[in-house]
């Protein structure tokens, strides 16, 4: 779940991971211009659209965080549930295509390993780029990550033997992984903080090509308009729509049996953001 911060006393904007991925897909399809190569590989776009699909089942019945009285923020999800979702996402993508599976597996591994050094985005509630690993959970997390590295070796071998995939060399793989991270972390910027908390964010290693990256600086201009420099999108302005619903913290003693049903019964809502050149 994506749980946005909120001013004191106001409801929180909650989005499922499907709604998060929808926003990522909007970003991915708008990306590209004369300076930034567009994301043209359909299996890379599929991975952007589906990189968190392992969360589908969990988001139907999310847990209630006893501290916030809201659904667990994805970064605070109990470890056993988080491990199932993190394995499930590359499982889903691999069933579609080995290349989508490879990018999704790299995403899972990168969450625990500074996103391969290609991002400096820090999720709200954390102090580092990587998902922290408690000592009590270290063995099971390391086993999951080792399995993802093995998956990546296997999928790279499958792609190397596939005549239609041979143009996807390692530089192309890394470029598309960077695309995925930019789409993911730009979406997180909007999903996790309400407008009053948003400020400057610098996105490093945004790929202009297989050979060249750029650092893109995002600044808030007003409550709905944000500038980017350099501007990586095809249109002069890009309008993004975040879907979700608003929820007040659940009072103590009123815990629902089915938090997912409560969320599903809330009226759908949305937030609109406009991206413009600096």
pLDDT digits (tens, 9 = 90+) for 167-209: 689 999 999 999 999 999 999 999 999 999 999 999 999 999 9
Question: Does residue 177 belong to any structural domain of this protein?
Answer: yes
pLDDT digits (tens, 9 = 90+) for 238-258: 999 999 999 999 999 999 999
pLDDT of residue 197: 96
DSSP string, 45-90: HHHHHHTTGGGHHHHHSPPBPTTTSSBPPGGGS-HHHHHHHHHHHH
Domain housing 104: 2-6+26-277
Percent of the chain residues past pLDDT 90, beyond the cut = 94
Question: Does residue 11 belong to any structural domain of this protein?
Answer: no
Question: Does residue 208 belong to any structural domain of this protein?
Answer: yes
pLDDT of residue 202: 98
Give CA–CA dist 162/140, Å, rounded.
33
Residue 3 is inside which H or E element, if any? strand 2-3
Question: Does residue 16 belong to any structural domain of this protein?
Answer: no
Mean pLDDT of 130-146: 95
pLDDT of residue 72: 96
Tokens of 258: 């089915």
In this structure, the strands spanning 12-15 and 201-207 are unpaired
Question: Does residue 147 belong to any structural domain of this protein?
Answer: yes
* Under 8 Å between Cβ of 12 and 247: yes
Our count of domains for the chain comes to: 1
pLDDT of residue 166: 62
Closest alpha carbon to 3 in 77, 70, 53, 83: 70
Question: Does residue 87 belong to any structural domain of this protein?
Answer: yes
Say what the pTM is. 0.96
pLDDT digits (tens, 9 = 90+) for 66-95: 999 999 999 899 999 999 999 999 999 999
Give CA–CA dist 195/167, Å, rounded.
42
Question: Does residue 180 belong to any structural domain of this protein?
Answer: yes
φ and ψ at residue 47, rounded to 5 degrees: -65, -40
pLDDT bin (cut points 50, 70, 90) of residue 4 is very high
Question: Does residue 19 belong to any structural domain of this protein?
Answer: no
pLDDT of residue 162: 80
pLDDT of residue 261: 97
């Amino acid at each position: 779940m994506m749980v946005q911060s909120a001013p004191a006393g106001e409801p929180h904007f909650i989005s499922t991971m499907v709604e998060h991925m929808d926003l990522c897909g909007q970003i991915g399809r708008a990306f590209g211009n004369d300076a930034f190569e567009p994301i043209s590989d359909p299996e890379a776009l599929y991975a952007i659209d589906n990189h968190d699909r392992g969360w589908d089942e969990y988001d139907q019945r999310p847990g209630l965080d006893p501290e916030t009285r809201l659904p667990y923020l994805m970064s605070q999800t109990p470890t056993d549930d988080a491990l199932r979702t993190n394995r499930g996402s590359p499982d889903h993508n691999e069933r579609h295509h080995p290349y989508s599976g490879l990018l999704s597996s790299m995403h899972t591994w990168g969450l625990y390993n500074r996103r391969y050094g290609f991002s400096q985005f820090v999720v709200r509630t954390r102090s580092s780029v990587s998902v922290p690993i408690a000592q009590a959970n270290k063995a099971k997390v390391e086993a999951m990550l080792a399995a993802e590295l093995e998956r990546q070796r296997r999928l790279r071998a499958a792609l190397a033997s596939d005549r239609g995939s041979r143009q996807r060399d390692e530089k192309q793989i890394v470029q598309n992984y960077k695309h995925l991270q930019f789409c993911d972390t730009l979406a997180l910027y909007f999903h996790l903080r309400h407008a009053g908390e948003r400020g400057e964010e610098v996105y490093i290693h945004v790929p202009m090509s297989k050979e060249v990256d750029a650092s893109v600086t995002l600044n808030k201009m007003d409550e709905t308009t944000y500038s980017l420099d350099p501007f990586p999108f095809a249109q002069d302005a890009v309008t993004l729509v975040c879907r979700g619903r608003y929820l007040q913290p659940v009072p103590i003693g009123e815990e629902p049996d089915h938090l997912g049903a409560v969320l599903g019964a809330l009226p759908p809502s949305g937030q609109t953001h406009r991206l413009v050149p600096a």
